[in-house]
Amino acid sequence: MKFFVDTADVAAIAELNALGMVDGVTTNPSLILKSGRDILEVTKEICGIVSGPVSAEVVSLKADEMIAEGRKLAKIAPNIAVKVPLTWDGLKACKTLSDEGHMVNVTLCFSANQALLAAKAGATFISPFVGRLDDINLDGMELIADIRTIYDNYDFRTQILAASIRTVNHAAECARIGADVMTAPPDVIRKLASHPLTDAGLAQFMKDWEKTGQKIL
């Protein structure tokens, strides 16, 4: 499973990328606001750090305007994936932009039917929002499993990009079910390395090593 980092924090992206933990980046208007930077400027900088897809989201609601914005965003760098919402206008924009050879990430997916439409419109990525479904007492992982089954049934090439990942359990379940990509905030990716038994075992090793009175360096 590929790891995308869900942030516009350039320092965090660079740190994780240096460890080989970044296969791509996703941004959205909320993350751009949090960064406090111009969308074109920060997106260009991110594209210079990572070689994989960098999702940059349109902000218009009409298809023609989404297409125009998508074309402008795509000019930032070759690895831009234009992000459009899963609305009827968003699907129209997806079809046009994908036909032009641009990567397209269709976002805010909450049903298998929506995911089916996005695949038929030529989406490169479909972004089902796991955490937001969990928030309303629905099973986000069930949606990932349903999309996986449907896409495999018909050999759709659209990649399942599990979004709204909030916990390490979300990450493990996405990998188990077969999501192609997971996008998560930097702190969630870092937490994947944590386990209380690892901490306890290391503490015991260090305590015993100190008793030996030895040094390696």
Domains present along the chain, CATH in parentheses: 2-212 (3.20.20.70)
Instruction: Classify residue 129 by its DSSP letter.
Output: B
168-193: burial string, b at 16+ Cβ within 10 Å, e else = bebbebbeebebbbbbbbbebbbeee
Between 39-49 and 10-18, two packed helices, what is the crossing angle to 10 degrees? Answer: 10
Taking only the tens place, the pLDDT of each residue in 91-150 is: 999 999 999 999 999 999 999 999 999 999 999 999 999 999 999 999 999 999 999 999
Task: Report the distance separating Cα 208 and Cα 187, nearest Å.
Answer: 31
Taking only the tens place, the pLDDT of each residue in 93-109 is: 999 999 999 999 999 99
- Please report the pLDDT score of residue 111 as a whole number: 98
Instruction: Classify residue 105 by its DSSP letter.
Output: E
Share of the chain above pLDDT 90, in %: 100
Active site residue 83: yes
Share of the chain above pLDDT 70, in %: 100
pTM of the model: 0.96
Mean pLDDT over the full length of the chain: 98
44 phi, psi to nearest 5 deg: -60, -40
Q: What is the mean pLDDT of residues 63-70?
A: 98
- Please report the pLDDT score of residue 68 as a whole number: 98
Active-site hit among 34, 83, 95, 191? 83
